[in-house]
Amino acid sequence: MAARQPPTRTTLRVSLGFGRERREAVAYPVANWMLLVAYDLKGVKLIGAYGEDRNGKFNAAGGVKAKDFGESAELVQAAGLGQYARQGFKASNYYAGAAIRAGSGTLGVAYSRSSSNLGSFGFDAAAQNMVAALYSYPLSKRTQLYAYGGRGRGVAYVRGLEAHEIGAGLRHEF
């Protein structure tokens, strides 16, 4: 008698997240929320998300200063790098991604966009757009070899500021 195969089905997942933080230096709360929808179509996974940041971002530019950008310092200063932590700041964030089996591994692609209202505060701000790709190859049940690449335009909402990143690595789960 042949072994019975479990039924193959698609999976839909929906997640909602919310965060709120009151910073000592300011009298207003920083908040964000995000809605994520993931759909697994038997080998192809699709992911979409939308969210908003209000009165700032939890992971703002940190200690980065305009002078750290060398020749682009004036451009960065005019765009308001790190000026997210302000009452009335709002950013709308979109994400779309997909993953598919490719050979023995998995190929993933993603696009994200974040647009803010920094322009209403007098900064020459741009929308931030990011694209990325990743390939992951399993070496064993708990070890993967991976390579990725990404490109961003309007990074940190700075018009004309671009970023590129490539990398590779080995991940082992304990």
Residue 11 burial by Cβ neighbours in a 10 Å radius (0-12, 13-18, 19+)? exposed
Domains and CATH numbers, the chain: 51-172 (2.40.160.10)
Q: Taking Cα atoms as reference points, which of 169, 163, 135 lies closest to residue 150?
A: 163
pLDDT score of 120 = 86
Residue holding tokens 């598919």?
Answer: 100
Say which amino acid occupies 163: A
pLDDT score of 52 = 95
Residue holding tokens 């671009």?
Answer: 162
pLDDT in tens, the chain (174 residues): 556 656 556 689 999 999 988 767 667 888 999 999 999 988 899 999 999 999 877 665 545 555 556 656 665 565 566 667 778 889 999 999 999 999 899 999 999 999 999 888 887 778 999 999 999 999 999 999 999 999 999 888 888 888 899 999 999 999
Q: Is the pTM of this model over 0.85?
A: no
